[in-house]
Amino acid sequence: MAEESPLSEREQQVLEQLATGASNNEIAQTLAISPNTVKVHVRNIYSKLGVLSRTEATTEALRRGLVVLPGVNDEPSPAADSLEEAQVVADSAAEPLQPQPEASQPAQPQVAVEQAAPAERTTHVVLPRWLAWTALTGLVLLIGLLVWVAVLRPTDAGPSSTASAGALKNSWRPLPDLPQPLADGAGLYTDDAIYIIAGSNQQAILSETWRFDVRAQTWTTLAPKPTAVTSVDAAMIDNLIYVPGGINAEGQKLALLEIYDPTSDSWQAGPPLPAPRAGYALAAIDGRLYVFGGRDQSGPVSTTFIFNPQTQTWSEGEPLPLALSDMAAAQNDKQLFVTGGLTSGERPSRQTWRYRNGQWDERAPLPEDRIGGRGVFVTNRLYVLGGSQATEAVLLYQPDQWYRETLEVGTIVRPVVLSDRRSVYVFGGWDGSAALTQSRIWDPVVTVYIPGIRQQ
């Protein structure tokens, strides 16, 4: 039975075309939309289905009954009768990966497949195309199930404990340094470009705007933000980048809203926030800008401010369950996770909260304090990096359990951390004494082991 589709009507149309093997240009011509719009829809489809490629999207869509392909949905799969065993073994991730030979563009999340030595007798069977596709689909689904059972399913440990997330190898690869040292700035990833805005270093509060071309690996200086601020974040709605609030050079928390247009490389002022905010969590949900918590002149607050670009007005939403600032936050489609940070009385908080459908619900707490850490999603996994006064491991959250990665990020607080849903980018941050120019990328890797299939 087909599941209820999480996709919009247009995304469903794109998925159906994608499943036939059509290219972006062919999909654009069929649906009378631009190739860039197709790319946006494809990214949304990947996010909502929790996949990383067209093949995975097609397989997941077939599994859920979201698309129908002749000879695949209609015919029973014989793969299960011929498959004796399939085993998934997670790599221990003890050995870091070697840098990739080509650094011109970020690597896709890699799946290393090791073929075990065949038994003494093996059988090579030539199958009809439809039968081979059906068998392959069944095998992929079985492997996915075993991966979940062997690797991704949480252990029986308590919610505040940590476990080894051995499915991920650790490897930082260098990127070109920032044009100058920076921490506590705003960052945004969009269409193979990264925008870094404002922030601070040991000399000044910054107003700079930079664009990093992910493919060309180059930095470009853009029009500066009108107001130099730090302790901010950025979100994009309808091709405009919104940067609310922040702290200026005099240490004042601000209520301003400044908006950057990448097309014209220009800034404009928007309606100010209802009250000054800095160190908040930011999200763009259903075409609206959400500012969660943060701090005003007196300390952490729990408010939720919502900006509607259509009406150019602010309103208030469901507040955080506690006053919170300087937390790690990450958005996954229409839900936002916040964790760590500071609460009332400048006390560390380890609580984790999820905002979904206008409501908050509590999740597993962090195993340790993280203040000024940053969070990102890679597929459906939440990673928290930095935010500690000592060298600590990256933390991984999945389903309601925290795991400690073998990968370390170093002694770093308030970096800019971004994700394209495949790789994790880290820019700058404080190392305890100074802001950094360092830029780097990490590509999570899963190793899958498939034994040979023996003939009886």
Average pLDDT rounded to a whole number, residues 219-227: 98
CB 50 within 8 A of CB 332: no
Average pLDDT rounded to a whole number, residues 61-83: 59
| 399 phi and psi angles, rounded to 5 deg | -45, 105
| 191 phi and psi angles, rounded to 5 deg | 50, 55
Of 154-158, 350-354, 427-431, least confident by mean pLDDT is 154-158
Residues contacting 244, CB < 8 A, separation 6+ = 232, 256, 257, 258, 273, 277, 280, 282, 289, 291, 307
User: Does the structure show a pLDDT above 60 at 394?
Assistant: yes
Amino acid at 389: Q
pLDDT of residue 388: 78
Please tell me which residue, 113 or 29, carries the higher pLDDT value. 29
What is the residue-averaged pLDDT of the chain? Answer: 81
Distance CA 228, CA 234 (A): 14
Q: If you search the block for the tokens 């492997």, which residue do you land on? A: 143
Please tell me which residue, 121 or 375, carries the higher pLDDT value. 375
Amino acid at 311: T
Q: Which of 46-55, 156-165, 410-419 has the highest mean pLDDT?
A: 410-419
Distance CA 45, CA 157 (A): 33
Distance CA 63, CA 322 (A): 40
pLDDT of residue 417: 97
Of 41-50, 128-137, 316-325, least confident by mean pLDDT is 128-137
User: Does the structure show a pLDDT above 90 at 80?
Assistant: no
Q: Which helix (H) or strand (E) holds 79?
A: helix 79-82
- Quickly state the pLDDT bin for 153 (edges 50, 70, 90): very low
- Radius of gyration (C-alpha) of the chain in whole angstroms: 23
Distance CA 383, CA 444 (A): 11
Of 129-133, 228-232, 314-318, least confident by mean pLDDT is 129-133
Q: DSSP letters along 112-137, please?
A: EEEEPPP-SS-------HHHHHHHHH
Average pLDDT rounded to a whole number, residues 152-171: 42
Residues contacting 22, CB < 8 A, separation 6+ = 30
Please tell me which residue, 312 or 153, carries the higher pLDDT value. 312
- Quickly state the pLDDT bin for 380 (edges 50, 70, 90): confident
Tokens representing 418 are 């971004």
| Nearest Cα to Cα of residue 376 among 440, 439, 328 | 328
| Nearest Cα to Cα of residue 450 among 192, 65, 116, 4 | 116
pLDDT of residue 3: 64
Tokens representing 301 are 């607050």
Q: Which helix (H) or strand (E) holds 46?
A: helix 35-49
Average pLDDT rounded to a whole number, residues 105-122: 42
Alpha helices, DSSP H, located in 181-263: none
- Quickly state the pLDDT bin for 144 (edges 50, 70, 90): low
pLDDT of residue 56: 82
Residues 73-98: b if buried by 16+ CB within 10 A, e if exposed: eeeebebeeeeeeeebbbbebeeebe
pLDDT in tens, 250-303: 999 999 999 999 999 999 999 999 999 999 999 999 999 999 999 999 999 999
Helix, strand, or coil (residue 346): helix
User: Does the structure show a pLDDT above 60 at 327?
Assistant: yes
pLDDT of residue 88: 34
First to last CA, the chain: 35
Q: Could you tell me the maximum CA-CA distance found in the chain, to the nearest angstrom? A: 78
User: Does the structure show a pLDDT above 60 at 83?
Assistant: no
Q: What is the DSSP code (8-state) at residue 3?
A: P
> Hey, how many other C-beta atoms are within 10 angstroms of the C-beta on 215?
10
Distance CA 282, CA 340 (A): 15
Distance CA 38, CA 33 (A): 7
pLDDT of residue 304: 98
Please tell me which residue, 41 or 417, carries the higher pLDDT value. 417
pLDDT of residue 240: 98
Please tell me which residue, 376 or 90, carries the higher pLDDT value. 376
Q: What is the DSSP code (8-state) at residue 345?
A: G
Distance CA 98, CA 107 (A): 12
Question: Which domains are seen in the chain, by residue range?
Answer: 1-72 (1.10.10.10), 172-443 (2.120.10.80)
- Quickly state the pLDDT bin for 120 (edges 50, 70, 90): very low
